[in-house]
Structure 1
Amino acid sequence: MSRLSPLNWPVLRQLRTGDAFGRDTNTRSVRTEEISARISEADRVVKSVCPYCAVGCGQRVYVKDEKVIGIEGDPDSPISRGRLCPKGSASEQLVNSSSRITTIKYRAPGATEWTELDHDTAMDMITDRFLAARRRGWQDTDDQGRRLNRTMGIAGLGGATLDNEENYLIKKLFTAAGAIQIENQARI
C-alpha cells in the first residue's frame, strides 16, 4: 500500500490495526526508535541537592568524562519527589557556563583591576581580617561590669544555598568566635 493511500491515514490505520487510542506502533517512527536519552551516555549518577534556595530539592547529577551532562530531579527525595523548579532545572548551566569564574579574584582597595590569588594567600588574608575585626570589636564586660565575652566586629549571614549541616557548623564557628550577630537568609 502506498504511503499516500487513504487506508494509511492515521485514524484509519489505528482502527485497521486495533490501536484505537494511538498508543502502539502507530505513534512510532524510525526517527523516534533511534532516539536515546541524553543521560543514557552518563558514566555515573551522583545524588546532590539543588544549590539555589533553602528547600533542598534532591537532584540526580549525570556525569560523563568528569563533566556534568545533565541534572534532573531525584524521585527518591522526600522533599521534591523528583520535581525541580525552573532554576533547579537549569542548574547544569551554573556548572558548565563558559563565564563561570573558577579562580580566586581579588581587587585591592583603590585598584581598578582584579588580580588572581592562590588559595593559601586568600585564606591567610581572610583569616587575618577576621581576627583583626574580632579583636577590634571585642567586649569583655559591659558598663556595669557584667561579663560579655563577645565581639561586635564580626557578624554572620548564612545563605540558603547551604544545607542545614553547613549552616549549623557556620553558626557554631561564629558563636565560638564570640559573634552574636548571626542570621540566615532562610529565616529572614
Structure 2
Amino acid sequence: MGRFSMLEWPVLRQFRSGDYLGRGPAVESARTRNLTSRNETADRVVQSVCPYCAVGCGQRVYVKDEKVIQIEGDTDSPVSRGRLCPKGSASEQLVNAPGRQYQVLYRAPKSTEWQHLDRDTAIEMIAQRFVESRRNGWQERDDKGRLLRRTMGIASLGGATLDNEENYLIKKLFTAAGAIQIENQARI
C-alpha cells in the first residue's frame, strides 16, 4: 500500500472532481476501482433450475475449470426474474460441500458401520423390499367380502422439491402398486 496523501482524501477528491454530492468516482478508492466480479473469470455459464422446491426458479451456474464457482438468479427466467430465496442463493454450497456423498451408503439393521454399495445393488434392494412390503400388506377383500385390491404395506410421502411431472409419475406408480396412502408435503 502506498503512502497516504491528503489529496486522496475522499472529501477533497469530491471537490476537485466536481462530484459535490459524493455519488460518483470521487468516492471510490483505488482498491474498489480495481475489483472485478468473480464471475468474470468463468469459462462458461450454464442455465439451470434451482433444486430446492417446485417453484422452478432459474439459475445461472458459473463454471471455471469444470468446477462450479458461483450460482446466481437468472434474469431471463419468467418464473423468478433473477431472484432466488436464501436456499437457492446458497445452492453453490450444495454442489461444492466437502462432505457431499458420491456413493450409496448402506447401514444394515443393528449395525454401527456404513458400507458402500454400488447403485444397481441398492436399487435391487429397494425394489425387493417394495414388492415384499406390498405382498405382505395386500388386502384383496374386506371382512364383508367386498373387493379392495389394495396394500397397506407401502405409502408415499412426496416432497415439494419435485415438480408436477415427477409427482404425477410417483402418484401413478403407487396407485398402480395398490397403495392408497399417497400424500405430498406441499399439500400438508
TM norm structure 1: 0.86
The question of whether the paired residues in 1 share the 8 Å contact of 2:10 and 2:27 is answered with: no
How far 1:186 sits from its partner (Å)?
Answer: 1.1
Query: Any idea what SS the aligned residue of 1:153 has?
Result: coil
What amino acid sits opposite 1:145 in the alignment? G
| AA aligned opposite 2:6 | L
Number of the residue aligned with 1:145: 145
The amino acid that maps onto 2:5 is R
> Is residue 132 from structure 1 mapped to residue 135 from structure 2 by the alignment?
no
Contact map agreement 1:54 1:186 (CA 8 A) in 2: no
Provide the rounded CA distance (Å) in 2 between the counterparts of 1:106 and 1:21.
Answer: 64
> Which 10-residue stretch deviates more, 140-149 or 154-163?
140-149
Task: Note if 1:106 corresponds to 2:106.
Answer: yes
Give the CA deviation at 1:117.
Answer: 0.2
Give, in whole Å, the separation in 2 of the partners of 1:22 and 1:121: 66
Task: Name 1:185's counterpart in structure 2.
Answer: 185
Distance in 1 of aligned mates of 2:159 and 2:60:
22
Q: TM-score scaled by structure 2?
A: 0.86
Q: Deviations over 1:73-124 (max 9, x none)?
A: 2222333322222222111111111111111001111211010000111111
Shift of the alpha carbon at 1:9?
4.3
Aligned length: 185
Select 2:6's aligned residue among 4, 27, 35. 4
Alignment partners' CA distance in 2, 1:181 and 1:55: 25
Q: Which moved more, 1:52-61 or 1:158-167?
A: 52-61
* Percent sequence identity over aligned pairs: 71
**For the aligned residues, what is the CA RMSD?**
2.1
Deviation of 1:155 (Å): 0.4
What CA distance in whole angstroms lies between the structure 1 residues aligned with 2:172 and 2:63?
Answer: 34
Distance 1:101 1:90, change over 3 A: same
**1:58-97 maps to which residues of 2 (within 5 A)?**
58-97=58-97
**Aligned partner of 1:62: which letter?**
Y
Unmatched tracts of structure 2, length 5 or more? none
